[in-house]
Amino acid sequence: MEDLKDIFSPAPAEVPADKYEAGSVHWQSPSNIAIIKYWGKRPVQLPQNPSLSLTLTNARTETRLSYEPKDSDGMELEFFFDGEPAPRFRERVLHYLESVKTYLPFLERFRLTVQTVNSFPHSAGIASSASAMSALALCLCSMEDKLFGSLSDDSLFDKKASFLARLGSGSAARSIFGYAALWGQASRVPESSDLFAVSLEDRLHPVFKNFHDDILIVSADEKPVSSRAGHQLMDTNPYAPARYARAKQRLDKLLDALSAGDVARFGQIAEQEALELHGLMMTSEPPYLLMQPETVAIIERLRRYREREDIPVFFTLDAGPNVHLLYPEEVIADVRGFLQEELAPYLLNNTFIPDFVGEGPEEV
């Protein structure tokens, strides 16, 4: 398999004298909701099956990376989350920066400060690592381009950002691209790769380009089993091989549905994938459960509502208890009424994040 070094020359370690000065870069990057799930990986942060996601708009991370020259060796990092020092997150980010310095050796020449804020709860199963690591990867690529002018081509910039984001969080590779993205090699998409995600915007029917995803907050608590641990448990899950084969088959069907505007077929696949994801958790060793009673109650009420009213609204789940309501723009009034009347009692403080498919990250 090709490495990024076969696509790009590594950034230089020595910074031009006229660029060796303090500066900052600033990006907002959204979360995404996987329809074909990424669950199970092999070294180094490569997927066992391709995954496909819709890029969101309102569930975002905003990150500022500031840097100033230093004389000492090694990586130096200050990290702030919501304006406060966050030692646990700092350790994870520092480990990540150490892991990518092969591609960005100039980082050791600067003292780095990362300031980041989320628009939604972290570690609660809303893919906060996707938005956080994609925002950071975009900042790193902007820093490289400011210092060396090496990523002026937009497609190369996005490819490297996706590659770097993947090394921090697999799902982050997809958040680099607006509307929809595919990560992992897939025979139907020749440009696809396990190393980085690719845009599917040109393959998307207009109905999906303003599709809604209302994120119903059942719990904002940190998950008892992290996604990182969940991926590791797939290594010994007896159903893993069948899962990876089935995901590839569903991907082909989903690509057809997305290009044809087949909302019903899309919804069927989304729900199958969501329940299979949580079934894999319940068949791991040791088994664990991230759904809560409210999660199941919402799903059951949604199914009854859809059958009763013939409204195209569907659900998916990420690795957590919160429920994503997926539906086209044309039924927003019906779905929001149903949400407020029947689902609100199951939500934490009646909280939901009204979100929709969007254009992707934005430099601030």
Question: What is the average per-residue pLDDT within 307-311?
Answer: 97
Is the pLDDT score of 269 beyond 80? yes
Do 188 and 262 lie in one domain? The reply is no
pLDDT for res 3 = 57
* Domain stop point among 170, 205, 240: 205
Do 198 and 261 lie in one domain? The reply is no
| Verdict on whether the full-model pTM lies above 0.85 | yes
Is the pLDDT score of 7 beyond 80? no
In the chain, DSSP assigns E strands to 23-36, 41-42, 46-47, 51-69, 76-81, 84-85, 110-118, 180-183, 197-199, 212-216, 314-317, 323-327, 352-356, 362-363
Do 116 and 240 lie in one domain? The reply is no
* Domain stop point among 149, 180, 205: 205
pLDDT for res 126 = 63
pLDDT for res 328 = 98
Question: Would residue 25 count as lying in a domain?
Answer: yes
CATH of the domain at 281: 3.30.70.890
pLDDT for res 119 = 87
Give the pLDDT band of residue 1 (cuts 50, 70, 90). Answer: very low
* Domain stop point among 205, 224, 239: 205
Between residues 154 and 122, which one has the greater pLDDT?
154
Share of residues in the chain with pLDDT > 70 (%): 96
Do 184 and 93 lie in one domain? The reply is yes
CATH of the domain at 11: 3.30.230.10
Question: Would residue 306 count as lying in a domain?
Answer: yes
Do 201 and 215 lie in one domain? The reply is no
Rounded to the nearest integer, the mean pLDDT of the chain is 94
Question: What is the average per-residue pLDDT within 233-238?
Answer: 96
Question: Would residue 364 count as lying in a domain?
Answer: no
Give the pLDDT band of residue 360 (cuts 50, 70, 90). Answer: very high
Question: Would residue 363 count as lying in a domain?
Answer: no
Do 63 and 197 lie in one domain? The reply is yes
Do 197 and 146 lie in one domain? The reply is yes
Question: Would residue 361 count as lying in a domain?
Answer: no
Q: What is the pLDDT of residues 219-228, one digit of tens each?
A: 988 888 988 8
pLDDT for res 270 = 98
Give the pLDDT band of residue 10 (cuts 50, 70, 90). Answer: confident
pLDDT for res 175 = 98
Question: Would residue 362 count as lying in a domain?
Answer: no
pLDDT for res 222 = 84
Do 273 and 195 lie in one domain? The reply is no
Do 165 and 244 lie in one domain? The reply is no
Buried b (16+ CB within 10 A) or exposed e, 276-312: bbbebbeebeeeeebbbebbebbbeebeebbeeeebb
Long-range contacts: 47-50, Cβ < 8 Å, 24+?
47/170, 47/183, 47/184, 47/194, 48/234, 48/240, 48/244, 49/184, 49/243, 49/244, 49/247, 49/248, 49/251, 50/182, 50/183, 50/184, 50/185, 50/186, 50/192, 50/247, 50/248, 50/251
Is the pLDDT score of 202 beyond 70? yes
Do 179 and 269 lie in one domain? The reply is no
Q: What is the pLDDT of residues 238-265, one digit of tens each?
A: 999 999 999 999 999 999 999 999 999 9
Question: Would residue 222 count as lying in a domain?
Answer: yes
Is the pLDDT score of 125 beyond 70? no
Question: What is the average per-residue pLDDT within 161-165?
Answer: 97
How many domains are contained in the chain?
Answer: 2
Question: Would residue 199 count as lying in a domain?
Answer: yes
Domain that includes residue 134, residue range: 4-205
SS3 content of the chain, % helix, strand, coil (to 5): 45, 25, 35
Do 64 and 118 lie in one domain? The reply is yes
Do 309 and 280 lie in one domain? The reply is yes
